[in-house]
Structure 1
Amino acid sequence: MEPLDTIPYVTVVQLSDSHLFADVDGRLLGMQTDDSLQQVMSAVIAEQSNIDLLLCTGDISQDGSIVSYQRFAETVKTLGAPMRWFAGNHDERLALQQVCAETDWLQAVYDIGAWRIVLLDSSVANKVYGMLAEDQLTLLEQALASAGERHVLIGLHHHPVPIHSCWMDKIGLHNAAQLLSIVSRHSNVKAVIWGHVHQEFDQLINGVRWLAAPSTCVQFAPRSDDFAVDDKAPGYRWLRLYEDGQLQTAVSRVENIDFEIDYSIKGY
């Protein structure tokens, strides 16, 4: 296998679950989400010299307000990278579409380098759990079948494999078996990434990397039976997608951030 430092690659930065409010001072579980996003952005700018794609994997807004989406877009614009995003269970799809009306931010299939990135909308109106509608499953099948020699990264909001957190696994992707069936039939799929879980997850299953990113605000405690908040700092995930189909990825968290979590709150 050729050494990675000799193989061309593209860099993807994943931001997830920012939960912004119309009010810039809005807080989720005690954390001011706009401030925590700004601090994560500072880390991205310091650590990633060249970003080929910014991928935002849902729950961009907590209140679904147009103002919150506009402020998010204005904040991440400083990275100077192409952006793609999609809805999570807290997002308001119509507001998101309105903000994206004159852009390509909601484009579902994006080819970059030797890779095809396929982005799916798993949000269900007024529900916390996720579901891929038939049009999303068809989109995925067609995108994989037409990818040619490209390697594929799939993104969605809800987790399609168990993360071994009882309360969270109940509100994951409810028709995950259909997604897994499609993935199993296409050897070009190298990785699947998502948000929603507010924690790091990285598992190799049948040659495919299954990856979750931390939130840019509050973190959830891993492997918890009931709703529980972690004391880890906000962060993001970066991925290097190599021309030969290999990938490198890691999570980076904000350092020296002062925050207090309201542990008395039993849901979000």
Structure 2
Amino acid sequence: MPPVTTTEAGYVSIVQLTDSHLFADHSARLLGLDTFASLNAVIDQVLDEVDQMDLVLATGDITQDGSEGGYQRFIEAIGRLPAACRWIPGNHDDAALMATLGDASGLNADWIDLANWRIVLLDSSIPGAVPGRLDAEQLDHLDAALASAGERHVLVCLHHHPIDIESDWMNPLGLQNADEFLQRVDSNANIRGLLWGHIHQQLDAMRGKVRLLATPSTCIQFDAHSADFATDTQSPGYRWLRLHTDGSIETEVSRLPAGRFVPDPDASGY
């Protein structure tokens, strides 16, 4: 994995890939969808659309089965991108295995400093559970990152959503100690953005002066504001971000053309 290098442009350019849900078994499908093929199609689009790339962030649920084979397929796919990648686990992942593999491949980081920005990576996963939580170690890690950031602007990344997303079935599966986390966010003027995955849909909102961003999956999409589990027919996608020197964030979601990689409405097994 290439090292993170200092950007030479007037902004830091980041690509977020999230919720790829890969399998070790090449024939396995998620709700009828080939998640490895959809990830590679999204990466093709990134290569076509993003001229400058300083960092790739993979914000959890890298695999569906928590397998070494699934992680190796992800490493193979992102190897086509010209920037370093750093990852964090989600609820479908094996965080311990990711830590081991990430040490060997350079995918682990507590935080990354690029230009006058600090990107903080948090593990919100709970082994064997779907909701998330930032344990004492992770909160201490966040405190240390913020305390040592100096004058840098800060982008904080995690897997689970820390706010109400107006979805009856999905809200209880978010960050269980969101209040503890958001107290830190609200009290720190350096934090400019929060970035997460997990919800398989697009979100762009504000909390005071902090940008709140969630991103579509590279495979299946969830129906927004649904009372019960439901998929959406929107295509997979990714998010690009430009972190400017004044602390502002420019960002958009880009999706594959409509009709590509739509889950089977009759399939089950998520």
TM-score, scaled relative to structure 2: 0.94
Cα deviation, residue 98, structure 1: 2.5
CA contact (8 A) 1:227 1:267 kept: no
In the TM superposition, 1:1-16 aligns within 5 A as 8-16=10-18
Distance 1:240 1:119 in 2: 17
CA contact (8 A) 1:227 1:266 kept: no
In the TM superposition, 1:60-99 aligns within 5 A as 60-99=62-101
Distance 1:80 1:64 in 2: 26
2:44 equivalent in structure 1: 42
Cα deviation, residue 231, structure 1: 0.2
CA contact (8 A) 1:26 1:34 kept: no
Once the two structures are overlaid, the 10-residue window that deviates more, 162-171 or 258-267, is 258-267
**Which of 174, 179, 189 pairs up with 1:177?**
179
1:3 equivalent in structure 2: none
Runs (5+) with no aligned partner, structure 1: 1-6
Note closer, same or farther for the CA distance 1:103–1:258 as it changes in structure 2 (3 Å cut): closer
Identity among equivalent positions (%) equals: 49
TM-score, scaled relative to structure 1: 0.95
Note closer, same or farther for the CA distance 1:148–1:260 as it changes in structure 2 (3 Å cut): closer
**Which of 172, 186, 197 pairs up with 1:195?**
197
Distance 1:204 1:218 in 2: 26
Distance 2:191 2:34 in 1: 37
Cα deviation, residue 109, structure 1: 1.1
2:143 equivalent in structure 1: 141
In the TM superposition, 1:103-122 aligns within 5 A as 103-122=105-124
Cα deviation, residue 209, structure 1: 0.5
Cα deviation, residue 233, structure 1: 0.1
1:4 equivalent in structure 2: none
Cα deviation, residue 122, structure 1: 0.2
Note closer, same or farther for the CA distance 1:102–1:254 as it changes in structure 2 (3 Å cut): same
**Which of 128, 132, 146 pairs up with 1:130?**
132
Give CA-to-partner distance per residue, 1:146-178, whole Å, 9 cap, x none: 101100000000000111111110100000000
Give CA-to-partner distance per residue, 1:213-254, whole Å, 9 cap, x none: 100000000000110100000000110000110110010001
**Which of 199, 204, 207 pairs up with 2:206?**
204
In the TM superposition, 1:228-247 aligns within 5 A as 228-247=230-249
Cα deviation, residue 82, structure 1: 1.1
2:5 equivalent in structure 1: none
Distance 2:73 2:228 in 1: 33
Note closer, same or farther for the CA distance 1:183–1:71 as it changes in structure 2 (3 Å cut): same
CA contact (8 A) 1:18 1:217 kept: yes
Distance 1:26 1:108 in 2: 32
CA contact (8 A) 1:85 1:105 kept: yes
CA contact (8 A) 1:16 1:215 kept: yes
Aligned alpha-carbon RMSD (Å): 1.3
Runs (5+) with no aligned partner, structure 2: 1-8
AA partner of residue 243 (structure 2): L
